[in-house]
């Protein structure tokens, strides 16, 4: 479904991603893991058209996204739940979720999707009229995930959904990710909680300093001593 080939991304004269290749198949959940500054968010932004691609290519269902603007990429069915959540703080939970539905090709049916999202996130149902900026971190993450899903994405990209959340809430996020996966949504997941990422994802790639260092299915990455020493030692 998604093929990233020799991707190069630079900020001005500084290259952050130096030829990254990976792919995500239909219905798969693929994790990108790696230390701070490895280029994970930059890679996701390049897929979504939020930073220019300097070299290589990103193909979605065979079509190159290289020269497409972000809103056209969203219309193709790629939706992003960004790092740091970025909910619209002055808008209510309901308004945030409606915003998510805007990138859909057909506007209809958003109310039934809203009901589905509120079933998946009962806590948001209780807070539907509350300003998103006044929600707790975990609740804001739920808004960000639900907003991304309101676009009915074919590919849902999530950048560190568990960042800054208490362990109990991280467990809740894990359950939510598993529920989304069970609905057949194709997912590309960046996570610093590597143990969680490798429980949710089918396969993973380890990015270090802008290149892919390792790749494999989740059980083999979990069993790899380099991974367990660097990322699972807690």
Ligand X SMILES: Nc1ncnc2c1ncn2[C@@H]1O[C@H](COP(=O)(O)OP(=O)(O)OP(=O)(O)O)[C@@H](O)[C@H]1O
**Would you tell me which residues interact with ligand X (CB under 6 A)?**
11, 14, 16, 34, 36-42, 83
Q: Which does 102 bind (CB under 5 to 8 A by kind): ligand X, Mg ion, none?
A: none
User: Both tokens of residue 108?
Assistant: 């209809």
Alpha-carbon 138 to chain mean position: 16
Q: What's the closest the beta carbon of residue 35 comes to Mg ion, in angstroms? A: 10
Residue 134 backbone zone (phi > 0: left; psi -120 to 50: alpha; other: beta): alpha
Which residue's CB is nearer to ligand X, number 130 or number 192?
A: 192
How far apart are CB 41 and Mg ion at their closest, in Å? 3
**C-alpha pair distances (Å), 230 with each of 73, 201, 208, 227:** 35, 18, 12, 5
Q: Is 162 in the site for Mg ion (CB under 5 A)?
A: no
Q: How many CB atoms lie within 10 A of CB 64?
A: 13
Which residues within the stretch 59-88 sit at the binding site for Mg ion (CB under 5 A)? 83
Question: Given the complex with ligand X, which of 42 and 140 has the nearer CB atom?
Answer: 42
Pick between residue 11 and residue 102 the one whose CB is nearest to ligand X.
Answer: 11
Is position 41 an interface residue for Mg ion (rule: CB under 5 A)?
A: yes
11 binds, among Mg ion, ligand X, none (CB under 5 to 8 A by kind): ligand X
Segment lying near Mg ion (by CB under 5 A), choices 12-20, 39-47, 54-62, 135-143 = 39-47
Which of 18, 127 has the CB closer to ligand X?
A: 18
Rounded Cα distance between 117 and 124, Å, is: 9
Q: Measured from the CB atom, is 18 or 104 closer to Mg ion?
A: 18
Closest to 212 (Cα-Cα) out of 60, 61, 56, 84:
56
Please report how close the Cβ of residue 10 comes to ligand X at its closest, in angstroms: 9
Sheet of 29-33, strand order: 78-81, 155-159, 186-190, 29-33, 203-208, 211-217
Closest distance of CB 39 from ligand X, Å: 4
């Amino acid at each position: 479904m998604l093929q990233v080939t020799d991707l190069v991304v630079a900020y001005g004269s500084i290259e952050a991603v130096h030829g990254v290749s990976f792919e995500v198949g239909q219905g798969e959940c693929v994790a990108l893991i790696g230390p701070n500054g490895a280029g994970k968010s930059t890679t996701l932004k390049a897929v979504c058209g939020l930073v220019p691609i300097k070299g290589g290519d990103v193909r979605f269902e065979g079509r190159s996204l290289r020269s497409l603007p972000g809103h056209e990429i969203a219309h193709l069915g790629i939706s992003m739940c960004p790092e740091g959540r970025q909910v619209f703080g002055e808008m209510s939970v309901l308004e945030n979720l409606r915003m998510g539905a805007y990138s859909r090709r057909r506007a209809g049916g958003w109310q039934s999707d809203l009901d589905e999202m509120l079933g998946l996130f009962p806590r948001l149902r209780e807070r539907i009229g509350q300003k998103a900026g006044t929600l707790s971190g975990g609740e804001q993450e739920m808004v960000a995930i639900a907003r991304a899903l309101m676009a009915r994405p074919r590919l849902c990209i999530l950048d560190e959904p568990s960042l800054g959340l208490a362990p109990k809430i991280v467990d809740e996020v894990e359950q939510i990710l598993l529920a989304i996966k069970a609905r057949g949504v194709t997912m590309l997941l960046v996570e610093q909680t590597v143990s969680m990422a490798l429980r949710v994802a089918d396969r993973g790639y380890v990015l270090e300093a802008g290149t892919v260092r390792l790749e494999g299915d989740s059980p083999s990455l979990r069993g790899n001593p380099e991974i367990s020493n660097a990322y699972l030692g807690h």
